[in-house]
Structure 1
Amino acid sequence: MRKFFTSLFAFILSGLAGALIVQELAVLTGATEEYMLVFAAAVMILIVVTIAFFLVQFRAEPIRAVDRMLWWLLAIFGIVLIALAGWTFSVPAENRATASDLSIVAGLILPGVVAIIVQWLFVRWRLKRSVTTFGRGGAGA
């Protein structure tokens, strides 16, 4: 039950942080209706990240698994960032709307990275706290 509530609170915290980033990017870039895609994608990314961090808590060495998941997810988001930016610049110059496209690319990547880092910080903090042991120093009877 502890792992479930850890993931639930991490979901809420990272959702607030990700939504704050998306909202701020929308205001700074003067976003229009197409930015709703970014809000929807941020929620889907948040759900996937929460499930990933929830599952690694059940590993034999959960702290190490959470650290490894952080690096895997950041690597995936880095590859996606490079791919999306490359795709944006691969469009012929006369058909390119670079400013609005790059704001959407940033809106897709930055909230995901913030969600990953907030999830990692919260889950790792909760895993480091020792669970109360029973008996003489946790020794079995």
Structure 2
Amino acid sequence: MRKFVTSLFALILSGLAGGLVALWLAIATNANSEYILVFMVSALVTIVATVAFFIAQFVPNPQRAINLTGLVGIALFVLAGIGLIAWTFSQPPGKAQWSGDLHFGAGLILPSIATVIVQWLFVGWRVRRGLKAEAGAGA
């Protein structure tokens, strides 16, 4: 039950964090309707990260699995961000719309990174507390 509640709270907290980052970016860049996709991707990343961290809690060494899941998630989105930036700057000079594309790319990547970081910190903290409680109860 502890793992389920941990994942539920992590879903709520990371969804809030990712949504707030996306909202802040939308306000800062005076975004229009294109940020609807950013909010949808933010919700999707929150759900996928919750499932990944939920599964990581069930392996024999959960702290190591949670750290690996967090590092892989962050690395994935950093590489995706680098790829989006490279793709934006690889466009021919006549067709390049860098000012609009970079804001959208940041809107896709930064809320996702915030979501993974919040999940990683919260789930890792709860698992460490659970392991300490089990070690104290077993002694």
**TM-score above 0.5, yes or no:** yes
TM-score normalised to the size of structure 1?
Answer: 0.91
Task: Provide the rounded CA distance (Å) in 2 between the counterparts of 1:50 and 1:130.
Answer: 18
Of stretches 46-55 and 123-132 in structure 1, the one that deviates more from structure 2 is 123-132
Q: How does 1:4-19 map to 2 (within 5 A)?
A: 4-19=4-19
* One-letter amino acid matched to 2:82: I
Percent identity (aligned): 49
Specify the SS of the correspondent of 1:33: coil
Structure 2 counterpart of 1:105: 105
Task: Provide the rounded CA distance (Å) in 1 between the counterparts of 2:130 and 2:111.
Answer: 31
Unpaired runs of 5+ residues, structure 1, are none
Q: CA deviation at 1:89?
A: 1.1
Structure 2 counterpart of 1:115: 115
Structure 1 counterpart of 2:76: 76
RMSD of the alignment, in Å? 1.4
Deviations 1:26-84 (A, max 9, x none): 01001011111111111111111111101000010101110111111111111111111
Instruction: Give the aligned length.
Output: 136
Deviations 1:4-24 (A, max 9, x none): 110010010011111110000
TM-score normalised to the size of structure 2?
Answer: 0.92
Structure 2 counterpart of 1:36: 36
Q: 4+ runs of 1 displaced by more than 2 Å?
A: 130-133
Specify the SS of the correspondent of 1:94: coil
Structure 2 counterpart of 1:25: 25
* One-letter amino acid matched to 1:85: I
Of stretches 35-44 and 124-133 in structure 1, the one that deviates more from structure 2 is 124-133
Q: CA deviation at 1:92?
A: 1.2
